[in-house]
Amino acid sequence: MLSMILAMDKERGIGKENKLLWHIPEDLQYFKKLTSSRTVIMGRKTFESIGKPLPNRTNIILTRNTSYKAEGCLMYHSIDDILSEIVEPGGKRETFIIGGEEVYRLFLPHADRLYVTQVNAVFDADTFFPEISKEEWERTSKKKGSRDTPYEYYFEVYERKGRRYESADTGQHNKRSTTEYVC
């Protein structure tokens, strides 16, 4: 199955100048817990923002540049190849789309589940997550973030209507990630 994981503000902002808009350690830990040992798919710009492959995951970069290489990552040049070769349709094992805007927009029509960290503030953003249509998506869980930050944030899970899989494991954990983005 195909899942997306993202953090967005009240106006669906996700980034600015190829960086994240906030530093929420609990969200980085959540991201790490959910994606560890899975395949993560990202746009070339998001990869360059992270700067290295995420450890303990299969890293896939989508780029139109057929000469682009990044050590420790697999390159793909078309969404169709990713959908046919990487994503297990109907399977329980999750493959994660991890951003950014262009890649979220491209894969949203194919996604089964969305893990959204909803940040209750408005930031100056230049990249955005598309609207989550109430006709297509049902919010199945919402948990308030527990750490002290200047703004509240919530961990939400959305399932595509009519396509329910077994419950998402959204349990929290306490290990710190070792980089600003996530490791």
* CA-based torsion, 123, 106, 91, 135: positive or negative: positive
Q: Does 59 bind ligand NAP (CB under 6 A)?
A: no
SS3 158: strand
From candidates 6, 28, 157, 168, binder to ligand NAP by CB under 6 A:
6
Q: Does 53 bind ligand NAP (CB under 6 A)?
A: no
Chain Cα centroid distance, residue 181: 12
Q: Closest CB to ligand NAP among 66 and 133? A: 66
Sheet holding 73-76, edge to edge: 73-76, 58-62, 39-43, 95-97, 2-8, 113-119, 153-160, 137-144
Q: Does 46 bind ligand NAP (CB under 6 A)?
A: yes
From candidates 14, 87, 111, 168, binder to ligand NAP by CB under 6 A:
14
Q: Does 7 bind ligand NAP (CB under 6 A)?
A: yes
Q: Does 77 bind ligand NAP (CB under 6 A)?
A: yes
Q: Closest CB to ligand NAP among 18 and 179? A: 18
Closest approach of ligand NAP to the CB of residue 121, in Å: 13
Report d(CA 114, CA 4) in Å as an integer. 5
SS3 113: strand
From candidates 26, 101, 112, 159, binder to ligand NAP by CB under 6 A:
101
Contact 129, 14 (CB under 8 A): yes
From candidates 74, 79, 86, 132, binder to ligand NAP by CB under 6 A:
79
From candidates 12, 52, 58, 63, binder to ligand NAP by CB under 6 A:
63
Report d(CA 144, CA 159) in Å as an integer. 19
Name which of 122, 164, 110, 119 is nearest 139 in CA terms.
Answer: 164
Interface residues with ligand NAP (CB under 6 A) are 6-7, 14-16, 18-20, 42-46, 49, 62-65, 68, 77-79, 98-103, 106, 127
